[in-house]
Amino acid sequence: MQVTDLYVSAPGKAILHGEHAVVHGKVALAVSLNLRTYLRLKADTFGKVCINLPNIDTFLSWDLSQLKQLVTYFHGKRDEVQCLDAELVRRLREFIGVSNGSLDTCSMATLSFLYLYLSLFGSGELPSLTLTVWSELPTGAGLGSSAAYSVCLAAALLCASGAIPPPLKEWEHTARWCQEELELINSWAFQGEMIIHGNPSGVDNAVGTWGGMLRFLAGKIIPLSRVPLLRILLTNTKVPRSTKVLVAGVKDKINKFPSIMVPVLDSVDAISCTCEKVLSEMTCEPITGEHYNILEELIDINQHHLNVMGVGHPALDRLCQVTLAKGLHSKLTGAGGGGCGITLLRPETDSLMVQSTVQELKDCGFDCWETSIGGPGVQQHSAISVKEEILEILNYY
Ligand SMILES: Nc1ncnc2c1ncn2[C@@H]1O[C@H](COP(=O)(O)OP(=O)(O)O)[C@@H](O)[C@H]1O
Ligand SMILES: C[C@@](O)(CCOP(=O)(O)O)CC(=O)O
Ligand SMILES: [Mg+2]
């Protein structure tokens, strides 16, 4: 089977409010970032499947004959993707030699690739291909790199399998899929997330698929089209952590202290709803200092709640202290336990103040930058629409 070459990309995300609570059926507000993961899929004739994942130093290849042995029992259901095929996951774990509890970066990325590849092609002829992924996102830092990776994999492999068409016309530079096709991409990306995260809510892959700002509740995705332009500072504490471990830890705490933790989750839910209301008011009436005061208080309260859930870290406390000394308010974003935090900048915060805050955070050993939000969801690219330095990496392998 011969597949068509293509480039796709998907954005990372920042969760404004609702991380962790969203796993337990509460509202989350999330927004796409202008930092993306790019994937190149190249057809080959060598009878091999190769993956190049330079961000995580992973370069692997398999003979098609090896992979065929894994799918002897397999029927392949491309449009029915509610839960993982436990037997396929078990076989793949055995094949790549990874235990159930493993958190190894390379194993999780490999497992999710092989799972999607075999699920989508397992019922027919396996194609020979090379897949290269490069991301502008830090990996494992709370900005949804796992979801951006899974969304790119799902879009490229669904296209290669013929389940969805490549949307790019000859004269276009970028193109997106229709709603129904995006839903299919999103549901396969969710499978990839399940392998990496264990128990994902689905909010990250939804942002990676649709982009923009959205409200997510129990699998229901509502795009928020009327939102004010927010200025956000992103800080990466560079403390490594695993989403899977942190999500499992919160679940244990809820099971152990339900009467204590459930009200905390309810309060986070109310914070997300209040934030959504304020953001909407800011688009239909003149923005006042009071709007920002409320947004800042919500950030502070939520950061305390996340600490109560056990997903704080001294480096995140430091971020909050440094920014508060400048009158700015921060909270962790994503799974916490280290990784990234967001700081809300007010419209009147001048660039000197931003610069000095960034410098102080860098002096703590953190990476810090002002970011723009609301990038487009998953898209296909022509080669010339991919930034030169990224194209160079994707075409190197
Ligand atoms: N660019 C990438 N290349 C390969 N694997 C990636 C890439 N980005 C993310 N991953 C996979 O996602 C995992 C990180 O996911 P996670 O712990 O959820 O953190 P986050 O999604 O916040 O970045 C990595 O261990 C790796 O398996
Ligand atoms: C903690 C959580 O709410 C977000 C995790 O995001 P990230 O993988 O840390 O980028 C988990 C989820 O929603 O699946
Ligand atoms: Mg993740």
CB atoms within 10 A of CB 45: 7
Name every protein residue with a CB atom under 6 angstroms from any ligand 1 atom: 37, 53, 55-56, 105, 108-109, 133, 135, 139-146, 149, 196-197, 242-243, 334
The Cα-based distances of 388 to 80, 181, 220, 385, 396 in angstroms read: 38, 29, 37, 9, 12
- Give the per-residue pLDDT at 356: 97
Query: Computed from CA positions of residues 24, 217, 195, 136, in that sequence, does the dihedral angle turn out positive or negative?
Result: negative
Angle at Cα 275 formed by Cα 178 and Cα 307, nearest 5°?
105
pLDDT class of 75 with cuts at 50, 70, 90? low
d(CA 77, CA 153): 17
Which has the higher per-residue pLDDT, 21 or 71? 21
Question: Which of 197, 254, 316, 332 is the best mutation target for the ligand 2 pocket, counting ligand atoms within 8 Å of the beta carbon and taking the most?
Answer: 197
- Give the per-residue pLDDT at 103: 74
pLDDT over 60 at 70, yes or no: yes
pLDDT class of 215 with cuts at 50, 70, 90? very high
Label the pairing between strands 213-217 and 28-43: antiparallel
pLDDT over 70 at 384, yes or no: yes
Summarised one tens digit per residue, pLDDT across range 325-337 is 999 999 999 999 9
* Mean pLDDT, residues 318-322 taken together: 98
Q: What percent of the chain has pLDDT over 90?
A: 85
From the list 107, 128, 145, 146, the catalytic residue is 146
Instruction: Tell the CATH topology of 6-222+374-396.
Output: Ribosomal Protein S5; domain 2 (3.30.230)
* Mean pLDDT, residues 311-317 taken together: 98
Q: Is 204 a catalytic residue?
A: yes
Atom of ligand 2 nearest to the CA of 143: 10
Residue 160 Cα to ligand 1 midpoint, Å, equals: 23
Does the CB atom of residue 243 touch ligand 2 within 6 A?
yes
d(CA 350, CA 145): 31
From the list 107, 135, 201, 204, the catalytic residue is 204
**Beta carbons within 8 Å of 159's beta carbon, 6+ residues apart:** 4, 6, 8, 41, 165, 166, 380
Query: Computed from CA positions of residues 9, 14, 18, 23, in that sequence, does the dihedral angle turn out positive or negative?
Result: positive
Q: Can you tell me the ipTM of this complex?
A: 0.98
- Give the per-residue pLDDT at 99: 76
17, two tokens: 């409010």
pLDDT over 60 at 78, yes or no: no
pLDDT over 80 at 259, yes or no: yes
Summarised one tens digit per residue, pLDDT across range 149-184 is 999 999 999 999 999 999 999 999 999 999 999 999
pTM for the predicted model, two decimal places: 0.95
CB atoms within 10 A of CB 315: 20
Does the CB atom of residue 200 touch ligand 2 within 6 A?
yes
Half-sphere exposure of 347 (CA within 13 A, CB side): 10
- Give the per-residue pLDDT at 98: 85
Chain center to CA of 255: 26
Summarised one tens digit per residue, pLDDT across range 200-209 is 999 999 999 9
- Give the per-residue pLDDT at 3: 76
Q: Is 269 a catalytic residue?
A: no
- Which numeric CATH code is attached to 227-371? 3.30.70.890
* Mean pLDDT, residues 226-230 taken together: 86
- Give the per-residue pLDDT at 1: 62
Atom of ligand 2 nearest to the CA of 200: 14
Chain center to CA of 354: 26
Residue 254 Cα to ligand 2 midpoint, Å, equals: 17
Q: Which of 74-78, 87-91, 119-123, 278-282 has the lowest mean pLDDT?
A: 74-78
Residue nearest to atom 16 of ligand 1 (CA): 140
Question: Which of 20, 37, 112, 204 is the best mutation target for the ligand 2 pocket, counting ligand atoms within 8 Å of the beta carbon and taking the most?
Answer: 204
Residue 194 Cα to ligand 3 midpoint, Å, equals: 10
Instruction: For residue 345, report the phi and psi dihedrals to the nearest 5 degrees.
Output: -100, 135
Residue 182 Cα to ligand 2 midpoint, Å, equals: 21
d(CA 291, CA 309): 27
Domain ranges of the chain: 6-222+374-396, 227-371
What ligand is nearest to the CA atom of residue 202? 2
pLDDT class of 79 with cuts at 50, 70, 90? low
The Cα-based distances of 171 to 167, 377, 382 in angstroms read: 12, 20, 9
Summarised one tens digit per residue, pLDDT across range 24-68 is 999 999 999 999 999 999 998 789 999 999 999 999 999 999 999
* Mean pLDDT, residues 125-129 taken together: 93
The rounded mean pLDDT for the chain is 94
- Give the per-residue pLDDT at 100: 73
- Helix 179-197 crosses helix 105-121 at what angle (to 10 degrees)? 140
Closest CA to 190 of 71, 81, 325, 286: 81
Angle at Cα 252 formed by Cα 251 and Cα 256, nearest 5°?
120
What ligand is nearest to the CA atom of residue 195? 1
* Mean pLDDT, residues 68-96 taken together: 78
pLDDT class of 77 with cuts at 50, 70, 90? low
- Give the per-residue pLDDT at 363: 98
